[in-house]
Structure 1
Amino acid sequence: MAAWQPTKEEADEMIARCGINPCAADGKPGKPPTPRPSTCLPYPKCHEHHPYAHSVVPLYPDADGNHHPAPPGRSHYDFNRPRDRLSEPNLYYPPDGGEPIEVWDTTALDRAEMTDEDDGRSSKKKGLKRPAEGDRPLSKNALKRLKKQQEWEAGKEERKIKRKENRQARRVRKREEKAALVAQGIDPNAQKQQKPPSVNVPISLILDCDFEQYMRDKELISLGSQVTRSYSENKNAQFRTHMFVSGWNGKLATRFHQVLEDKHKNWKGIEFIEGDFIACAEAARKKMQEDGGKMIDPLQKSLDEKVPWVRDEKDPFLMPDPEPEPREEYNDIVYLSSDSPYTLDRLEPNTSYVIGGLVDKNREKGLCYKRARERGIRTARLPIGQYMVMQSRQVLATNHVVEIMLKWLEYENWGDAFLSVIPKRKGGQLRQQEGASGEADEGDDAEAQDEDGAEDAEVEEPTPETSTEEAATAKS
């Protein structure tokens, strides 16, 4: 078969429609470019039909295997993937009014909403016929996820019965252990460790959960488990803070309402607010003025010494415009972010510390920092780089940041707080223990970027992906 040769009119039309010159690299028609077999995809005969197909001209096949110019903006390779073949063809109407062409791949259907620039006709009417939502074939990964979710839902009752049996078994075991101690003449109550009383302090921790549009469903489930774990850590801490959750709406609130059966409404010492973190900070300010709590020694020391707010020499996240001055009315709010050019030295009394609840595997760079900066809020990052040497760059989960803040109130030492909270699998060591001169990873921050908080909890997971809400709420 003779090689296909575009006429000048066809070449001009393709340049206008596709922005691609069907002629050779030197612009002379009739001189095909050098074939590149390494980049060839299925339909090996397309090069025999059209020598330009693999390198210059965007073409796609019809039902008979013949190739035609692709719609504007599409590539030859987009239409030659066997995994996208349909059981029945769809019709594509060329903008020049020619005969409709059968399209056998789903990739082309993604352009069903496009409007041809040449004549303004919308493909909704005369373009590709997109199948109904329920008729579209699911991908293999989508089918796997659906099957996994169905299996999880089917085993819900069985897991519920198993949890009940485990609780009963624990009660029986405790009764037997208690009876054994009594038989030996030992007072069982004497064996219990006396827990120090929990003291409320004038510090507020705000979990900013207003990032739903940046997270997938699995990441929202992980964030829910981190919120649950944060509440549990604060409730059982020696020095307890006031806790708030902002942006309480959307899928996260729906999950707590439906899946977790509103158990969070029984939690004490925490408030869920639909507004943003500023609204939470205003509520926290009012609460701390009325009944802030006990002024413990570390906070009193921060009040007496008045540590200056000094900008670091190295800016971890450069911005094109200069940083605006913090607004005076928000001087008692600090947004924690690793992108901040300020390092947190001590916790200040009557201050609200905002922790970004963003689980996105670090896809969104500087999101929390930019949000605080736009609102005129002070920012700071935890001094992990000054005290710890990390083997790998791991971002802390929300509940880890909460626990670190609580441990600082107890130890008044960042190094001890980091060492007691950061999981051992992350390989964190104190600088004096490591003895390394290398620069530590200062990327660890207060934004929730992974699911380690859920993985560390010694409780049963209520979802197939991540989560500790069910078990933790049951404990509360």
Structure 2
Amino acid sequence: MDTKSDQPATSTPPPMSKNALKRLRKQEEWDAGKDDRRKRRKEKRHERKTRVRDERAALIAQGVDPAELKKKKQVSTLAPVGIIVDCDFEDYMMDKERVSLSSQVTRAYSDNKAARYRSHLWVAGFNKGIAKRFHEVLGDQHKNWKGIWFDEGDYISCAAKIRERMSAADGSGGEMIESLQRSLDEPCAWTRDETDPFPIPGPEPPLDEANKDVVYLSSDSPYTLERLEPNTCYVVGGLVDKNREKGLCYRRAREKSIRTARLPIGQFMVMQSRQVLATNHVVEIMLKWLECGDWGQAFLSVIPKRKGGKLRGENAESEGGDGEGADGEEDEDQDEDQDEAEAEEAKASENKEEDAVEVETSTNVGDEGKSGAEEAKETQA
């Protein structure tokens, strides 16, 4: 009789590489410090509120009218421009990268809500991991947001819905503004750059005439965006992947015969190194351009100082690439996004974070809005 154990042999897990162990230790240290970070955020909020109250009381004591101390809300105007955050890249991202993306979507909404000229903002491919996070972790807070729409369909279906809104006969599609009027008066020349950042074998397919008003932003495109155009949808790739999938957004747009373009960062800025931008940074840059009509001013006001970018002619010492999308990200930025995500979770659970990023939106049609935001991470434009 065979006396050997019938129990299944326990398989020994394969040994982890040094980099994997390093990532694991870093994640464990981050998780262990979650309570401390939450405590510090709470203390900072209390300190900020106390400081604001003291400064206000001092001014009132000096005879300042309290009514003059109230913040005056900036008047917001809806412009006939669509911005679509394409989140249909679930299969290419890890869990922590989906957390980063959800934070960037929140800040993109916040920036659009606070902008002088806001856009028709849509989130395409809102399903799977990112939708689950908004539903389960963030308590469906996005259902209260205004001026943004979430759609399970792809960016082309979202563009069709935006197109219908912008062409509304009652004028609710947006007000023509100075920066967009210039694009009507002086149509942009759509010329291919001499150098192709990401050559693709084979001839370029003809554009889809039905979607000629859709432009997919990608740093890999051989076309440079000169100006934003009215009644046009600009797609920002919601991809946070540490630059693993090079050219993914560009190839996806080419396969569907969609026009592509890259932001003219290289023409206006000198970077210390090639830096891709976070989804919300790309959105904010376009909103700034709508306000001022100047790419240099828009880049300078949005691109984080840590990236070392300077306007050309300001004696910048080193020159780097002109990426403007988000195929990658820095580890320190990932930590910032995780920290921001924790703050969002705390706000969703406590429902009293007055100084956190404003979060209210709606999947319903008809409400427009805007709000203020802060830092972020890299993802494809």
Q: TM-score, with normalisation over the residues of structure 1?
A: 0.64
Q: 1:320 aligns with which of 201, 205, 226?
A: 201
Pair 1:216-2:94 in alignment: yes
Among 256, 260, 271, the alignment partner of 1:379 is 260
Q: Secondary structure at the match of 2:57?
A: helix
**Aligned partners of 1:221 and 1:467 also within 8 Å:** no
- How far off its partner does 1:319 sit? 1.1
The equivalent residue for 1:203 is 81
1:432 lines up with 2:309 in the alignment: no
In the alignment, the residues of structure 2 paired with residue 467 and residue 398 of structure 1 have an alpha-carbon distance, to the nearest angstrom, of 20
- Where does the alignment leave 5 or more consecutive residues of structure 2 unmatched? 1-7, 349-355, 361-370, 372-381
Deviation at 1:472, TM superposition (A): 2.3
Give secondary structure in 2 for the equivalent of 1:310.
coil
What is the rounded CA distance, in whole Å, between the counterparts of 1:357 and 1:130 in structure 2? 43
Distance 1:195 1:270, change over 3 A: same
Distance change (3 Å), C-alpha of 1:260 and 1:203: same
Residues 425 and 296 (structure 1), Cα distance of their counterparts in 2 relative to 1, 3 Å cut: same
Q: Does residue 259 of structure 1 match 2:137? A: yes
Structure 1 unaligned residues grouped into runs of 5+: 1-128
| Structure 1 residues 350 and 171, CA gap change in structure 2 (3 angstroms) | same
2:214 to 314, 333, 337: 333
User: What's the CA shift for 1:284?
Assistant: 0.9
> Is the Cα–Cα contact under 8 Å of residues 209 and 246 in structure 1 kept in the other structure?
yes
Corresponding residue of 2:10: 131
Q: Percent identity?
A: 55
Give distance in 2, aligned partners of 1:468 and 1:342: 42
CA contact (8 A) 1:207 1:354 kept: yes
Q: Are 1:394 and 2:272 counterparts?
A: no
Name the structure 1 match of 2:285: 404
Structure with higher Rg: it is: 1
Instruction: After TM superposition, give the deviation of residue 463 of structure 1 in Å.
Output: 3.8
Q: Deviations over 1:394-443 (max 9, x none)?
A: 1111111111101111111111111111112211111122377x86522x
- Tell me the amino acid that sits aligned with residue 128 of structure 2: G
Corresponding residue for 2:329?
450
Which secondary structure state, in structure 2, belongs to the residue aligned with residue 434 of structure 1?
coil
Report deviation, 1:241: 0.7
Deviation of the 1:152 alpha carbon: 6.3
Q: Which residue of 1 aligns with 2:377?
A: none
Instruction: Say whether the 8 Å CA contact 1:264–1:473 is kept in structure 2.
Output: no
The alignment covers a number of residue pairs equal to 341
Match of 1:441 in 2: 321
Structure 1 residue aligned with 2:351: none
Match 1:345 to one of 223, 226, 238: 226
Residue from 357, 361, 368 that aligns with 1:472? 357
* Amino acid of the structure 1 residue aligned with 2:91: Q
Of 163, 174, 177 in structure 2, the residue corresponding to residue 296 of structure 1 is 177
**Superposition deviation, residue 362 in structure 1:** 1.0
> Does the C-alpha gap of structure 1 residues 231 and 137 become closer, same or farther in structure 2, counting only changes over 3 Å?
same
2: CA distance, partners of 1:145 / 1:439: 32
CA distance in 2, matches of 1:411, 1:456: 29
Question: Where do residues 129-278 of structure 1 align in structure 2 (5 Å cutoff)?
Answer: 131=10, 136=13, 141=21, 144=25, 147-148=28-29, 151=32, 155=35, 159=38, 170-192=48-70, 194-278=72-156
Q: Which residue of 1 aligns with 2:365?
A: none
Maintained 8 Å contact 2:79/2:117 = yes
Higher relative contact order (CA 8 A, sep 6+): 2
Residues 1:385 and 1:187: Cα distance change in structure 2 (over 3 Å): same
Say whether the 8 Å CA contact 1:389–1:431 is kept in structure 2: yes
Shift of 1:455: 7.1
Q: Per-residue deviation at 1:307? A: 1.3
Instruction: Tell me the CA shift for residue 378 of structure 1.
Output: 0.4
What secondary structure, in the 3-state scheme, does the structure 2 residue paired with 1:432 have? coil
Q: 1:439 to 1:311 in 2, by over 3 A?
A: farther
1:280-333 CA distance string (max 9 Å, x none):
111111111222111001111101211121111111111111000101000110
Q: Which amino acid aligns with 1:472?
A: V
- Distance between the aligned counterparts of 1:439 and 1:323, measured in 2? 30
2:246 and 2:327 in contact (8 A); partners too: no
Cα distance, 1:355 vs structure 2: 0.3
**Counterpart for residue 340 of structure 2:** 461
1:171 CA displacement = 4.6
